[in-house]
């Protein structure tokens, strides 16, 4: 999920948000969508890599490094309002991508660059449905054929 890490020719100096696709939000009830990417197995649980909120209910995907109009980003565990690419160092990790259908737009009560606590608390109050996908990432240098990284 990281495209380049040091800048320079052919490399980007920041991680790109991943493409995400979803379906099944409750029709007529969903007022907005929120997405949270986290790792619940980190020593300081959970490690949050991305929180996006106020996505239109008619939107069913995010393209690589693109947010739809009117969507906002809250702070991640590093205190930055951006996507932080998961990058396991010593062992494989499972990362959760959770899409929440919400009964409200949050922008009136939740500012852009909101803290994790503000975002989590406000999202939790408005959830009407959710779906989660888990993806496994392996550390750089650990061969994909390694049994720890097998699907």
Q: Which residues pair with 100 in a beta bridge?
A: 34, 130
Maximum mean pLDDT: which of 8-12, 95-99, 107-111: 95-99
Alpha-carbon span 65 to 49, nearest angstrom: 14
Quote the pLDDT of residue 148.
59
Whether the pLDDT of residue 11 is over 90: the answer is no
pLDDT (mean) for 35-55: 86
In 10 A of CB 125, how many CB atoms?
Answer: 12
Helices and strands in the chain: count of H runs, count of E runs: 1, 7
pLDDT: which is higher, 67 or 10: 67
Quote the pLDDT of residue 33.
97
Confidence of residue 53 (pLDDT cuts 50, 70, 90): very high
**pLDDT, tens digit, for every residue of 71-102?**
999 999 999 988 888 777 777 888 899 999 99
* Polymer length in residues for the chain: 151
Residue ranges per domain, the chain?
29-138
4 φψ region: left (φ > 0), alpha (ψ -120 to 50), beta (else): left
Alpha-carbon span 71 to 140, nearest angstrom: 32
Reported pTM: 0.82
Which DSSP state fits 141? T
Pick the CATH number of 29-138 from 3.40.50.300, 3.90.280.10, 3.90.950.10, 2.30.30.90: 3.90.280.10
Alpha-carbon span 51 to 43, nearest angstrom: 20
| Residue carrying the six token digits 């392996």 | 138
Quote the pLDDT of residue 138.
78
């Amino acid at each position: 999920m990281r495209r380049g890490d040091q800048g320079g020719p052919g490399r980007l100096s920041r991680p790109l948000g991943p493409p995400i696709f979803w379906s099944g939000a409750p029709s007529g009830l969903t007022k907005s969508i929120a997405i949270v990417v986290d790792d619940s197995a980190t020593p300081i649980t959970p490690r949050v890599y991305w929180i996006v909120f106020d996505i239109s209910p008619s939107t069913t995907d995010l393209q690589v490094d693109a947010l739809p109009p009117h969507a906002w980003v809250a702070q991640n565990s590093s205190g930055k309002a951006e996507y932080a690419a998961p990058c396991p160092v010593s062992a494989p990790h499972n990362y959760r991508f959770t899409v929440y259908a919400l009964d409200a737009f949050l922008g009136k009560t939740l500012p852009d660059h909101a803290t994790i606590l503000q975002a989590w608390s406000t999202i939790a109050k408005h959830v009407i449905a959710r779906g989660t996908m888990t993806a496994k990432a392996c550390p750089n240098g650990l061969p994909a054929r390694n049994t720890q990284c097998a699907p």
